[in-house]
Amino acid sequence: MDVLDQMAEIVRQNPAVTVQEAARALGYSEAKSIYYWLHKARFRGFKEFKKAVLTGVFPERLRRPSPLPNRVRERRPAYSSDLLPLARGLGPDGGPVWAGVSPLPRRDLSERAFALDWLSGEYFPFFMAGDQLAVDPEAPLHPGDTVLAIAGELPVLLRYYGPEASPLFAHPVTGQPQEWSLPPTLVGRVMAVYRNL
């Protein structure tokens, strides 16, 4: 049983447990050891971890494999249907902020696919504010594909060019190479754009 599973069991036994009490129960002298493991698992804090354990989101959140090492892992909505779940944006960790179900069909997309309300006009005319993007985190990437990514804390659209180990990203409209001090985190491939005219 790994540390996070042990922490989860402590939370299940005592939902009111504090981070200091959890640290002592695991044999740590300081609470910062708990925060180390939470940060590694992309939890923002002990309260978020406790909520994930008590609502059943954990361990599902960590068990999902990611095709590329630099792809975002997000919580899946609690429902499944033939329609794509709708995200109104991306959270600070790059995971979708769920808003319900979109009218867009899932078709041949993976279970992790979702629709995203795109609010930026930066990529006009290819992508406009008000478009819904069908994003599939499990779709394989090929040179020239448009991908949704997180650069800093902002969602961006990029044109992807391999190889996977050190990809090159270009602006989807201008074609200019894009560079950052830290590489962007891939969310998924943009499979389709839906626009209400």
- pLDDT by residue (tens digit) across 53-80? 887 777 754 443 344 445 555 555 544 5
Listed in sequence order, the DSSP H helices in the chain are 3-13, 19-25, 32-40, 46-55, 60-63
Listed in sequence order, the DSSP H helices in 124-194 are none
For the segment 11-53, what is each residue's pLDDT rounded down to a tens digit? 888 888 999 999 999 888 888 888 888 887 778 888 888 888 8
Q: Which stretches does DSSP call E strand in the chain? A: 83-90, 96-105, 114-117, 132-136, 146-151, 154-161, 168-170, 177-178, 185-194
Instruction: Report the predicted TM-score, pTM, of the whole model to 2 decimal places.
Output: 0.58
For the segment 96-133, what is each residue's pLDDT rounded down to a tens digit? 888 888 888 888 888 889 999 988 888 888 888 889 99
CB 103 within 8 A of CB 86: no
Per-residue pLDDT, 146: 94
Q: Other CB atoms closer than 10 Å to residue 186's CB: what's the count?
A: 25
Q: Other CB atoms closer than 10 Å to residue 46's CB: what's the count?
A: 20
| Burial (0-12, 13-18, 19+ Cβ within 10 Å), 76 | middle
For the segment 139-189, what is each residue's pLDDT rounded down to a tens digit? 999 989 999 988 877 889 999 987 777 788 898 888 888 777 777 888 999
Alpha-carbon distance of 14 to 152, in angstroms, equals 37
CB 106 within 8 A of CB 114: no
Confidence class for position 92, pLDDT limits 50, 70, 90: low
Q: At what angle do helices 46-55 and 3-13 cross, to 10 degrees?
A: 70
Average pLDDT value for the chain: 81
Give CA 7 to chain center in angstroms.
23
Confidence class for position 190, pLDDT limits 50, 70, 90: very high
Give Cβ neighbours of residue 118 (< 8 Å, ≥ 6 apart). 127, 128, 129, 130, 131, 132, 133
Torsion region of 61: left, alpha or beta (phi above 0 gives left; psi -120 to 50 gives alpha):
alpha
